Chain A
């Protein structure tokens, strides 16, 4: 038995057999095959040698290369046709009963060692040609296995060096119990997708692909970030109990949907949902949400098509309002740019798009894009409880320019005889540190504040959350973030303005006690996270949360804060820790 520790990115426990997904890395794992599978492996080998040759000839034809380079590829082609290579690999598969890819790796290791051992330097350098040829064969062999995960035959735990977001999305969900990877961090897109499909996942395990064999027995503990390899009977029993406990917790979440989000000492928390299209409202309502705290309107824009018209916007907003039956709909104006699709991407390449003309800045530059949206928001506000939210505000000037555009829209609508809501609530997204720091100067011009933690963390800590090399520095509970959030909450309390918080942090129950303790009373989270947050809210008191928040405020480091929060969550929801 061996216990490996990584980063827990999606909760739950899975017990099952390993399905090893090899990668292009040289690190090819040892996958044994049964005696009756040997011939099939050799057929895979022959097919792979053939497709490696096809790839090579395609490469030569497509690039039109000739002379020396073409001769090198000619030599590679001869190696791929070499009967000795094919026979050595086939014999290794047969004698050692290993996968074709592992046999390829073994045979090439031996070849490389032979070449490197040659005294003549010219011959010794051919070792790198061997590695190149090997990579091509491995790619041909592993490509097919990578495609297989969309249609698995038995329930398995996927073990891979890394999974791309599209591979994660393509996983055969009925047969995949969970997955674990060598690399990755909590905010990688893969992790986000794992959470959204509710599959236990542990990432950042370092070298698990070379430490487990295909078919090995493992336990994936997505709550604690551990993977138990070849568990003993006691461990299996313990985890089976954990699964039962987790199932019970899931059933409890079903029930909690119909109860109010109220702390044990009677404080009501508003739990809103994030949506991307009007159709998402149903899942927010099903999950027991109190309205929509964030409508990401970028999804009205379809790549390659003209920007949505005023009526496109209006229809979408009214469709959402109808389903909300009087509950609030917070419409965030276009937040294009950086990682999101932009209507004119490519027109101007910016060297640093995250600090460039994105979001509100882009809208202010392009009234033709912005005006139809503002007019539609004003018109739709006659059909329900609409709030207008401006993203990426860095200071008062941007806010005033946006509000001036909104006013122009109002004047023109009035002149055209439309109904115009004179009291449409307007808010700013606090997601640039400057906006948090001067929140007291912005607050007089707005009706509400919405803290967007994803960008706020990113801009305050100078960390790109999807860059794995710095992902460990992406710390939502960093003391600097806690101070920024506290500043905004205090401004809201002093001026009677509503403060809400959205972003991944809001939907992660680990932070709920801290955020409630800091004085937040409204969150906007993905629909699927609503029941879990509500369940935590219902099991805490404001008093107890304040104590935890005060302790966290004085902790100098993110790690200490997390440890304390984990401990607190463990007492409240043992199934999650």
Chain B
């Protein structure tokens, strides 16, 4: 796992944070995790996802899937970099509409 400070070479600058509750029936399984990671990757920001005591890289489908995020989970999404507020808003919207494109 990467350190909480993020990976080297990560874009510095602004930070945006938001919380959202996962509502789809199976939680953040492989397909929703794929959608999430794809959107996080596209944002160009460094994205961290916090769930209870665990946290992971939002652009890594593997880290997200291994967090075993269940239905009803409260996630804290943190983005760093250019347009990070927009990135966080988009990711929250994605979770809210049950990861549907």
Contacts and interface: CB of A to CB of B under 8 A. Distances in A.
B59 A83 contact: yes
B68 A123 contact: yes
Given A71-B34, A84-B57, A120-B27, 18 more contacts: A74-B31, A74-B34, A75-B31, A75-B34, A79-B61, A81-B41, A82-B37, A82-B60, A82-B62, A83-B57, A84-B60, A84-B62, A84-B63, A120-B70, A122-B27, A122-B29, A123-B66, A129-B30
A114 interface: yes
Interface string B6-32: 010000000000000000001101110
Given A119-B68, A123-B29, A123-B65, A78 B34 contact: yes
B55 to A, nearest CB: 13
Interface string A65-84: 00000011011001101111
A439 to B, nearest CB: 68
Given A71-B31, A78-B37, A81-B41, A122 B26 contact: yes
Interface string B31-69: 101100110010000000000000001011111011010
Contact of B68 (A75, A81, A83, A118): A118
A120 B33 CA distance: 15
**Residue among B2, B59, B65 with the most chain A CB within 10 A?**
B65
Given A78-B37, A81-B41, A118-B68, A126 B60 contact: no
A118 B30 contact: no
Interface in A91-149: 111, 114-115, 118-120, 122-123, 126, 129
Nearest to B26: A122
Nearest to B28: A123
A114 B64 CA distance: 12
Contacts of A126: 29-30, 65
Contact of A82 (B27, B31, B61, B68): B61
A480 interface: no
A78 B99 CA distance: 15
Q: Which one of A72, A83, A85 has the highest number of Cβ atoms from chain B below 10 Å of its Cβ?
A: A83
A85 B70 CA distance: 23
Contacts of A81: 41
Across the A-B interface, the 10 shortest Cβ-Cβ residue pairs: A84-B60, A75-B34, A78-B61, A78-B34, A75-B30, A123-B68, A118-B68, A82-B60, A82-B62, A120-B68
Residue from A71, A74, A82, A85 whose CB has the most chain B CB atoms within 10 Å:
A82
A122 B27 CA distance: 10
The interface size bin for chain A is 20 to 34
Contacts of B37: 78, 82
Interface of B: 2, 7, 26-27, 29-31, 33-34, 37-38, 41, 57, 59-63, 65-66, 68, 70
Contacts of A120: 27, 68, 70
- Of the listed residues A114, A126, A129, the one surrounded by the most CB atoms of chain B closer than 10 A to its CB is A126
**Interface SS of chain B: helix, strand, loop or mixed?**
helix
Contacts of B65: 115, 123, 126
A120 B41 CA distance: 27
B28 to A, nearest CB: 9
Given A75-B30, A126-B30, A111 B68 contact: no
Contacts of A123: 29, 65-66, 68
Main secondary structure of the interface of A (DSSP, over half): helix
Interface of A: 71-72, 74-75, 78-79, 81-85, 111, 114-115, 118-120, 122-123, 126, 129
A85 B62 contact: yes
A414 B7 CA distance: 93
A118 B62 CA distance: 13
A123 B26 CA distance: 9
14 contacts: A72-B31, A75-B34, A75-B61, A78-B61, A81-B41, A84-B60, A84-B62, A85-B60, A114-B66, A120-B70, A122-B26, A123-B66, A126-B30, A129-B30
B100 to A, nearest CB: 11
Contacts of B41: 81
A111 B65 CA distance: 11
Contacts of A72: 30-31
A126 B32 CA distance: 13
Contacts of A129: 30
A83 B1 CA distance: 11
A75 B99 CA distance: 13
B46 to A, nearest CB: 11
Contacts of B57: 83-84
Nearest to A126: B30
B68 to A, nearest CB: 5
Contacts of B26: 122
B70 A83 contact: no
A81 B26 CA distance: 24
A83 B66 contact: no
A437 to B, nearest CB: 65
Contacts of B27: 120, 122
B29 A111 contact: no
A72 B41 CA distance: 18
A112 to B, nearest CB: 11
Nearest to A86: B60
A129 B34 CA distance: 13
B34 A118 contact: no
Contacts of A74: 31, 34
Contacts of B66: 111, 114-115, 118, 123
B57 to A, nearest CB: 6
Contacts of A114: 66
